[in-house]
Structure 1
Amino acid sequence: MSNIIVFFSIVQRLEFHPKDISRVNNTNDWLRRFLIHHDLDIKDALSMLWDTCEWRKTNKVNEINEQNVNIEYLSEGSLFVHGRDKDGKSLFIFKCKKHVKGQKDFEELKKCVIYWFERVERQDKGNQITIFFDMADTGLANMDMEYTKYLINLCKLYYPHFLNYIIIFEMPWVLNAAFKIIKSWLPSKAVQKIKFVNRVSLKDYVEADQALKCWGGTDDYEFSFQPEPALSDGKVEENKKKVHFADGSPLSDNSPSSFGDSKQEEPCKSSKVKISPVDAIVFAQEGIEVLGNLSITNTSDSFISYKVKTTSPEKFRVRPSCGILAQGHTVNINVVVQPGYTGSNILRDKFLIMTFVIDHEGYSTNELNDLWKVNKNK
């Protein structure tokens, strides 16, 4: 833990951008992404965080906006964000046929990519994206390996835990060799995110109403560049998160890896409890155990019983996993990773928190178990 404290004290003295220092000091969400990106390896996560802050300073990432990027490049529609995949992640669309290698200033192109990455991060509060390569009607002239490598390296080196899928739509066979090279640039867990699709199989990843008509969907959207809407308070909000523990990405928020980005800490609309943290449990080494924590607060005006379940009970020890909460009371729950399981083993696992109202808190353990049997569908 001491090396983390030293790291943050050094960050304070360096001339990194104030917004990035603020993200480090005041929120957990950005830091959580670095940890997840490196399977909870703190040393590697801190190294990436350092490199990212340096890169952002060198490239003046926080200053990139519509006034200092090439507006013609933004307006032509070769890169834009529209629609969402089945996991609710924004589609970062690369219309490959509109890009011809060597015809544009590469440095300006890179700034455009950063502009869109930063914009979608602000829009989705750090949630993941799916990069969608629309390769319909493309040929060798449209295949820019340097550009593609730059895009991949951004996700690999400077935007942690940012990539949900890479969808390749209708790739011409003539480009097969090029994509074998591209795969070699990716770590193995990223290679698994690549999905080759056509008009028929796209529905496995993108619903028809989110798919453009040119992909076989029903969305008749035509790209027209619109400036980024101003936030109501003039600030980028980094730590607004909401609770979805039940279905995996809010805690499916980062499907297929469900221990990632989180959203605003607020009660579920249909729930009588507030759950914290939100969307993702962060695990850390404590002695010989890998331990995470969550809390449940009864926000109703009645007694409630709660139960915590997981998709992989063999991987976790949850204590307490069931109990009673009085009005306004909070229970802190420890989630311990069982020996033999690592960060990469638990990334897909999900938790479900169930509750129902009871009339008093004097039930015995056996009586409470009987109540859960009766209320198992509530």
Structure 2
Amino acid sequence: MATEATRNQLAVIENLDEKIKEVRQYIEEQYEKNKELYDESDMERIRNDDWTVERFIRRRKTLKESKEMLDNTLKFRHEMAMPRLKDDDFPEEFHKIGTIFCYCNDKQGNGMIYFRVRLHRKVKELEHDFKQFILYQVEKMDRITNGNGMAIVFDLKGTGLANLDMDMIWFLVSSLLNYYPIGINYILVYELPWLFQSAWNVIKGWLPTETRNKIKFCKEDEIFDYINRENLPMYLGGTCRINYHHVPKNSRTSMEIGQERGKTPKEINKYLKQFQPLLDEADEESKILLSEN
């Protein structure tokens, strides 16, 4: 597995077991002071999985910083309900459009996440929900890879100003850095339009040197240098027919979830209209993907 191969290449940390023990003790102390700020399932992972703690020790220069980073991560995860999220917590439209989704491994065995920026729409009413959806996809892949061996493709092909949401892009990148240390092996930026070059330069300027070195750029068939054709989505020229528009069982519509939260049909339809062309496109792509399965 990529996880084991990557970990075997990590530098040896002196007295690692003692440091893990010390970080665990600190987290337990914070937990006892404010149990309502933590999720019990996360605490169980801290208590029983060394790698969950070790990756934070490796991410920071001092043990004090590692403790604080892990503590902040646990509180953030609880605030965003990350340990408790399920597929059917999100509107079926989120899944169907396929703006962000987990997919097959690359050539090195890294689990892949794709973010099709062209399909993103900045809607204030959905901002929190979509941030949760982003985190949920990352969380799924992080668990599949056991905290290592993950990469993300920022697919910018066909992207225009209507899709440029610097806040959302930075949210995804910063979440990977701050809450999934030693989890991302590289970020592949595909078909960067000249319009976005200055924006990407801004984002790169926000990143530590180590992370900047993980950003790679490619166009057209260069993506096959990273991912085999049989594992690449068809819309990128691959032959894999796994449906990235699949709607999980028991998913509910935005109308159902919105009304449950006190929104009127008029309010919900106001922003849903923006997504109808994307839903129609998803239907067409799904037909192609399923036609020979």
From the two aligned structures, give the one with the greater helix fraction. Answer: 2
**Structure 2 residue 162 is matched with structure 1 residue 161:** no
Which residue in the other structure is 1:200 paired with? 221
TM-score, normalisation: structure 2: 0.71
Closer/same/farther in 2, CA of residues 8 and 103 from structure 1, 3 Å limit: closer
Q: CA 1:76/1:103 → structure 2, altered by over 3 Å: closer, same or farther? A: farther
Q: Which residue of 2 aligns with 1:94?
A: 115
Partner of 2:29: 10
Matches within 5 A, 1:321-336: none
* 4+ long deviations beyond 3 Å: 1-6
Report the equivalent of 1:38: 60
Structure number with bigger Rg? 1
> Structure 1's 209 and 5: CA in aligned 2 closer, same or farther, altered over 3 A?
closer
CA distance in 2, matches of 1:114, 1:5: 24
* Pair 69,215 (structure 1): closer, same or farther in 2 beyond 3 Å: closer
| Residues 68/218 of structure 1: CA separation in 2 closer, same or farther (3 Å cut) | closer
Aligned to 2:193: 172
Distance 1:206 1:149, change over 3 A: same
Following the alignment from structure 2 to structure 1, what is the Cα–Cα distance between the partners of residues 247 and 54? 31
- The reply on whether 1:51 has 2:72 as its aligned counterpart is yes
CA distance in 1, matches of 2:235, 2:28: 52
1:138 maps onto 2:145 in alignment: no
Say if 1:146 and 1:4 are closer, same or farther in 2 by CA, change over 3 A: closer
* Cα contact 1:74–1:112 (8 A) shared by 2: no
Going from structure 1 to structure 2, the CA distance change for 1:49 and 1:87 (only over 3 Å counts) comes to: same
2:276 corresponds to which residue? none
Q: Is the 8 A contact 1:128 1:164 kept in 2?
A: yes
Q: What amino acid is aligned across from residue 118 of structure 1 in structure 2?
A: E
Counting only pairs closer than 5 Å after superposition, residues 301-320 of structure 1 correspond to structure 2 as none
Q: Write the distance in 2 (CA, Å) between the matches of 1:97 and 1:30.
A: 34
| TM-score, normalising length: structure 1 | 0.56
2:207 to 152, 170, 186: 186
Q: 1:104 to 1:74 in 2, by over 3 A?
A: farther
Give the total of aligned pairs. Answer: 227
User: 2:11 aligns to what?
Assistant: none
Q: For 2:45, which of 23, 27, 38 is the aligned residue?
A: 23
Structure 1 residue 124 and structure 2 residue 118: aligned?
Answer: no
Partner of 2:237: 216
Contact 2:156 2:192 in 1 (8 A): yes
Tell me if structure 2 keeps the 8 A contact 1:11–1:21. no
Q: Which runs of 5+ in 2 are unaligned?
A: 1-17, 250-293
- Answer yes or no: is the 8 Å Cα contact 1:83–1:91 preserved in 2: yes
Whether contact under 8 Å (2:147, 2:180) holds in the other structure is no
TM-superposition CA deviations, 1:297-327 (whole Å, max 9, x none): xxxxxxxxxxxxxxxxxxxxxxxxxxxxxxx
* Structure of higher RCO (CA pairs closer than 8 Å, 6+ residues apart): 2
For structure 1, the residue ranges without an aligned partner over 5 or more in a row are 229-378
Written as runs of structure 1 = structure 2, the 5 A alignment for 1:323-362 is: none
Normalized per residue, the structure richer in strand is 1
The 3-state SS of whatever aligns with 1:84 is coil
- Tell me, in whole angstroms, the C-alpha distance in 1 between the residues paired with 2:124 and 2:74: 31
Q: Is the 8 A contact 2:104 2:232 kept in 1?
A: yes
CA contact (8 A) 2:24 2:46 kept: no
Deviation at 1:226, TM superposition (A): 4.8
SS of corresponding position for 2:142: helix
Give 1:255's aligned residue.
none
SS at match of 1:88: coil
Alpha-carbon distance, 1:98 to partner: 0.9
Distance across 2 between alignment mates of 1:151 and 1:192: 17
Identity %: 27
**What whole-Å deviation, never above 9, does each CA across 1:76-128 have from its counterpart, x for those lacking one?**
11111112222211111011111123376101111111221222223332233
Q: State the alpha-carbon separation in 2 of the partners of residues 68 and 28 from structure 1.
A: 30
In 1, distance between residues paired with 2:233 and 2:125?
26
Letter in 1 for 2:41: K
Q: Distance in 1 between matches of 2:23 and 2:119?
A: 45
Q: CA deviation at 1:224?
A: 2.6
- Compute the RMSD of aligned alpha carbons: 2.2
Indicate conservation of the 8 Å contact 2:24/2:53, yes or no.
no
